[in-house]
Structure 1
Amino acid sequence: MSLNYRIIPVTPFQQNCSLIWCEKTRRAAVVDPGGDLEKIRAAVAEEGVTVEKILLTHAHIDHAGGTAELTKELGIPIEGPQKEDNFWIVGLPQQAQMFGFPAPEVFTPDRWLEDGQQVTVGNQTLEVLHCPGHTPGHVVFYHKESGLALVGDVLFHGSIGRTDFPKGDHATLIRSIREQLFPLGDEVAFIPGHGPMSTFGRERATNPFVSDHRG
């Protein structure tokens, strides 16, 4: 059985929150609930799935702002990101103030994730890849059987994540994309944190920041 997904754009930043679920068990995870929880609730109801956990790629406000409220409401655990992003979680109220978001509660993930670990959704297993650069604790979730990766703000269709935030690093981000993501295969499709989906092959061929032509 496969892993199904539905993309739910949330917040004024149109962040791609993803609802992913195991077709057989109908157990689901919400990836990056940045806000607009009513949209997420509606998608969960429409798909008829049971949310069993929250997965976080990183802790910027547009990805993590709704986490505390959703975990309280559903009584479910939070997995991710990697612990180097804790300072972003602690700073969520300041992030909210800066970008005009509702003030969120600070939370502590039930499980910090590390490179090489796995997370489960129903009967499905996703690999965890630590891909710093946009934030130091950014992780990517990869479902091998479906050829699908949820990459947060590491890579976009035709672009890459910003590195001008605290503890961001351009060279580290490029390395994460080329050494962690591209080796997964050209045919792998990815859901970015913003904008349309793409494949690693397309980005290798055409992305001006990380294409093979850049050497």
Structure 2
Amino acid sequence: MNTPPRAIIKSFPLGPFATNTYIVHHEGFTDCWIIDPSFGPAPAIAYIKQHNLVPQAIVLTHAHIDHIAGIADVQKALGPLPVLLHEAERTWLQDPELNLSNDFGQPLILPAPTQLLTSNQTLSLSNQPWQLFHTPGHTPGSITLYHAPTSAAISGDVLFAGSIGRADFPGSDFNTLAHSIRTHLYTLPDATTIHPGHGPTTTIATEKRSNPYVRP
């Protein structure tokens, strides 16, 4: 039986909040995703060009300003890539209040997403299945992407190393967030590596054992 190609998940902490923009591709393949392009995405764009990768889509874990600010720059450099966002945030790219850009004095209005994601569907990159979990709480449409053969999950601002996403923004709710973490993340294998929207990677085992905000 052939071993599935491992996912390569390259992080670029960008902008004033050191938001992790990720370039995701698989060993031996050139197709890639750009996940959460933040302010000043030039380093991520350079990585794509350096490795001769072929972008397939911009995938958003949610639509807050620091996770969407680089969309226009990425599309200018790499072409009109489709933008994927959960259906619960279908209007957020065009709403500076909901995407929080008004709070920073930089109202950002972007085109509507190209594709609306639904709960618990599967996405494909280089014929590799990535399971999509709808993990609301930080925002109504927050998602987590999970590649089982690599034991890796990209969690956006749902779960961090030793912390969780804020629940005091429009559409946020702590109880919903805690439920998402317990239901969709803490049920993953303990060895699963979490690649969060901010900060370093962690593992499910570590967070179940020591995260002070959400216990199993």
Q: TM-score, normalised by structure 1?
A: 0.91
**Where do 1:14-93 residues align within 5 Å?**
14-73=18-77, 74-80=79-85, 82-92=86-96
**Does residue 84 of structure 2 align to residue 96 of structure 1?**
no
Provide the aligned length of Structure 1 versus Structure 2: 210
CA contact (8 A) 2:34 2:55 kept: yes
1:152 is matched by which residue type in structure 2?
A: G
Q: Runs of 5+ in structure 1 lacking a partner?
A: none
2:138 corresponds, among 93, 112, 134, to 134
1:26 is matched by which residue type in structure 2?
A: T
1:39 is matched by which residue type in structure 2?
A: P
Q: Aligned to 2:114, what secondary structure does the other structure show?
A: coil
Give the structure with the larger helix fraction.
Answer: 1
State, as a whole percentage, how many aligned pairs show the same letter.
34
CA contact (8 A) 1:157 1:203 kept: yes
CA contact (8 A) 2:22 2:35 kept: yes
The Cα RMSD (Å) is 1.7
Distance 1:100 1:45 in 2: 32
2:122 corresponds, among 118, 121, 128, to 118
**Does residue 162 of structure 2 align to residue 158 of structure 1?**
yes
After superposing on structure 2, the runs of 4+ consecutive aligned residues of structure 1 that deviate more than 6 Å are none
Q: Runs of 5+ in structure 2 lacking a partner?
A: none
Q: CA shift at 1:53, angstroms?
A: 0.9
Corresponding residue of 2:190: 186
Q: TM-score, normalised by structure 2?
A: 0.91
CA contact (8 A) 2:57 2:83 kept: yes
1:200 corresponds, among 192, 204, 208, to 204
